[in-house]
Amino acid sequence: MSDWDWHSAWPAPAKLNLFLHVVGRRDDGYHLLQTVFRFVDRGDVLRFSPRADGEVALATPLPGVSPESDLTVRAARLLQAETGCRDGVTISLEKRLPMGGGLGGGSSDAATVLLALNHLWRLGLPRERLQAIGLALGADVPIFVYGRNAFAEGVGEAFTPVALPPAWYVVLEPPVQVPTAEIFRSPALVRDTPAVAARDWRPGVGGNDLEPVAAGLYPAVAEHIGWLSAFGRARMTGSGACVFAEFAERPAAEAVLAQLPAGMRGWLAAGLPQHPLAAL
């Protein structure tokens, strides 16, 4: 019997891309990627309240985002449409992750909505079906439904689970939002990095092909990478803007964070062995 119910606070953790390569492009324009997703113990929090009128409402609209385009509302409505469910819900979102940061915040929120409402509405859909529904919402949604740290391929939807060692991450938030589409449109983006087999990947292998483009367009990203590089291998996650460095021990990460210059925003996160809802 699950402990998750209508009174629960439902986690939507951030992800880091430990590497991110663009290995090709499909005829339809979608880029073919290889990456390793790692969940960390910082994220947004969602709460749900049942409604008898069948409506989906967002109690906490985000500034500049209409409820109709909010990923949490879209996820709930798509789940209704896919299953014929007539139950309604009011969604409350405590936003802790920055928008446009490359941490997967909106995608993680949408995945938690799918997982939570599948459970709360007693729909009984398998994760594979929820992953397919999630892919219609965004390329990063399926990994959060999948629930395990993974080597991902294709457009980011084909997963091979990976066991990652415990680690601590210093994550910096440059004060910019980086639109993913802008990075992928850039003629400067490398699109032919040689592919690697999932079984051959090891921690520390690979870079982020999107990083030079984002750093060139947004000097704040380059500045934050430059500062963090003095303490370890600094790299960007996703299409940016956030950057991170990995440390084997918490005290080493804390020592770096203690030196953060005034005006820079950063935090510490532990790597997770799996998504908090992996066993749901």
Residues 6+ apart with CB under 8 A from 273: 149, 164
Among all chains, which residue has been given the structure tokens 């995608």? 107
The verdict on whether 3 is a catalytic residue reads no
Can you give the length of the chain in residues? 280
Active-site option among 3, 15, 70, 87: 15
Q: What share of the chain is helix, strand, coil (3-state, %, to 5)?
A: 30, 30, 45
DSSP 200: G
Tokens, residue 208:
């982020």
Query: Do 34 and 197 touch, CB atoms closer than 8 A?
Result: no
Q: Please state, in angstroms and rounded to a whole number, the distance separating the CA atoms of residues 16 and 36.
A: 8
Residues 6+ apart with CB under 8 A from 7: none
User: 41 exposed, middle or buried (CB, 10 Å; 0-12, 13-18, 19+)?
Assistant: middle
- The dihedrals phi and psi of 254, each to the nearest 5 degrees, come to -65, -35
The verdict on whether 140 is a catalytic residue reads yes
User: DSSP readout, 11-29?
Assistant: EEEEEEEEEEEEEEE-TTS
Active-site option among 3, 140, 200, 209: 140
The two counts, helices (H) then strands (E), for the chain are 8, 10
Active-site residue set: 15, 140
